[in-house]
Amino acid sequence: MVLKIFIATLCRIILNTSRRFAYPFAPVLSRGLGVELTAITSLIAANQASSLFGLFFGPVSDRLGYRLMMLSAMAMLALGMFAGGLFPFYGVILAALFLSGVGKTIFDPTIQAYASENVPFQRRGLAIGLMEYSWSATTLVGIPLIALLIDRFGWRAPFIVLGGLSLFGMIMLAIVIPRSDKKNDAHQASNSLWTAWKQLIRKRAALGAMGFAFFISAGNDNLFVVYGAWLEQSFGLSIIALGMSTGLIGLAELSGETLTAFFADHFGLKRTVFGALLLCLISYGILPLLGFTLPMALGGLFFIFLTFEFAIVTGISLSTELLPEYRATMMSGFFASAGMGRIAGALMGG
């Protein structure tokens, strides 16, 4: 199982990098495609909206099996990235980034459902926490490597490289996850889109987890969309310094994921979620008091993103057991709620 989690984490790094690299390199894409910057932000918005497709793909994963859906997600990503690199047109890039978003929307809840079926609940926080390293690794490793590719070979190079890595990841998944790792035939036959969602909306704990995902994500993105402007206006930070602050956020995310991986199981997932959420609320509350000097402001932001990541990753771990018979549906609902929360938070913050 360790090898499977390792390969899955590498695949998620590829997916996350493919989905996120348009954010910092939007001006580069704008110049390369010969379009306005606002056209690139539309690409990003379409990418985010793809998370809503999880409402459909979750039950499909429960029905058809996790292995098939994970391989389909990586194939979809490879197709989109290769198309974006080979055909440098705005419509193709739009489709490529949208496919990367849909691929991530399929892959994330499916791999977590798969891991949850094969890892005891007492070790669930460790397994999910380790897989979530893929998120911080995107900021700390993936995006800097994309910058090197663009600098050396041009803006189309990342699409080709990510396409090749996606294809490699798909092959590795096919090797390490055997065909026998799937739902039993009786469950597949009885499962349907409506049946899965009916079970979900009847479960109060599941609805509570989705509400948690929505509001904590809304709060985080509400800050995320304005923190750069706040630091720039309050402390006169340069673009390079702002980039370094983003690296600090990546380190905070890594720290939060580590706390989940190595402490959440020991203290209990439910208790840990409440504790992490309380710390997150406190960190938001004291941030205005820390805005007088740059080190204090950066320290406040670090603590916010650390506690947020600690809370959300532990919440993911807990949610994997709320609806055991429809794990992928549950996790798709969780991530769709988080996606809607991010959209709402960004609109409120902007």
Q: How far apart are CA 8 and CA 174, in angstroms?
A: 11
State the chain's mean pLDDT as an integer: 87
Q: Give the DSSP letter string of 261-302.
A: IIIIHHH-HHHHHHHHHHHHHHHHHHGGGGTTSHHHHHHHHH
Q: How far apart are CA 192 and CA 324, in angstroms?
A: 15
Q: Which of residues 193 and 247 earns the better pLDDT score?
A: 247
Which structure tokens are listed for 157?
A: 């190079």
Type of residue numbered 32: G
Which structure tokens are listed for 86?
A: 């080979």
Domain of 192: which CATH number? 1.20.1250.20
pLDDT over 90 at 18, yes or no: yes
Q: Which of residues 216 and 2 earns the better pLDDT score?
A: 216
pLDDT in tens, 102-123: 999 999 989 988 988 888 888 8
Report residue 190's pLDDT band, with 50, 70 and 90 as the boundaries. Answer: very low
Continuous H helices in the chain:
2-20, 26-33, 37-49, 54-64, 66-86, 90-118, 124-131, 133-137, 143-153, 157-176, 185-190, 193-202, 204-224, 227-235, 239-259, 265-267, 269-286, 294-319, 327-349
- C-alpha angle 90/19/160, rounded to 5°? 65
59-83 burial: b if 16+ Cβ within 10 Å, else e: bbbbbbbbbebbbbbbebbbbbbbb
Q: Which residue has the tokens 């070979």?
A: 153
Residue 100 has what pLDDT? 92
Q: How many angstroms separate the Cα of 312 from the Cα of each of 36, 37, 338?
A: 35, 32, 10
For 106, the domain range is: 2-349
Report residue 70's pLDDT band, with 50, 70 and 90 as the boundaries. Answer: very high
Which residue in 232, 211, 327, 312 sits closest to 264, CA to CA?
312
Total structural domains within the chain = 1
* Mean pLDDT of the 149-161 span: 93
End-to-end CA distance of the chain: 43
Average the pLDDT over each of 133-147, 202-216, 280-294, 305-319 and give the range with the smallest value.
133-147
pLDDT > 70: what percent of the chain? 94
What is the pTM assigned to this prediction? 0.81
